[in-house]
Structure 1
């Protein structure tokens, strides 16, 4: 199945070089793949995944290992951000 992975800010470094400027890549996943599987496969430290959305819906850290992805979904991840 295919999904779109979007990584923002410093996490874009975990995308293939040709995809970094667009902040997105299409991934082919095995059926039953979870959000946590994608995070692990891309080499993203889980602690750097502050905001995780699937098709715009928040996925809390305890749910990431159980939340299976489906064909055509968009997984978007942002690192922690600081403000003032």
Structure 2
């Protein structure tokens, strides 16, 4: 991390069914990052495939993947789904 900046800790919560497609055994992944990191940055840092997620939910509100979370937040990541 860069000197003088305290990292933030954010928890990413992913759907349980996601583990069936990707080698993820935990529904919650805690990520440390510098302040100003976006949800998309955190997804990449956690080693998750960013193309899978299109919706981030913070405190019941939908946010863009460009949202910059604050320390201690939990973000629900929802996949992009299609169908007819």
- Name the TM-score class by shorter chain: 0.5 to 0.7
| Higher normalized contact order (CA 8 Å, seq sep 6+, divided by chain length) | 1
Higher share of residues assigned strand: 2
RMSD: 2.5
Q: Please give the per-residue CA displacement for 1:6-45, whole angstroms capped at 9, x wherever unaligned.
A: 1112167364x4xx2xx10222111111111112223433
Higher share of residues assigned helix: 1
User: Structure 1-normalised TM-score?
Assistant: 0.66
What is the aligned length?
A: 75
What is the DSSP-based 3-state SS (H/G/I as helix, E as strand, rest coil) of the residue aligned with 1:10? Answer: helix
**Contact conserved, 1:48 with 1:80, CA < 8 A, in 2?**
yes
Structure with larger Rg: 2
Query: Post-superposition, which runs of at least 4 consecutive aligned residues in structure 1 deviate over 6 A?
Result: none
Q: Specify the alignment match of 1:24 in structure 2.
A: 28
In structure 2, runs of 5+ residues without a counterpart are 1-7
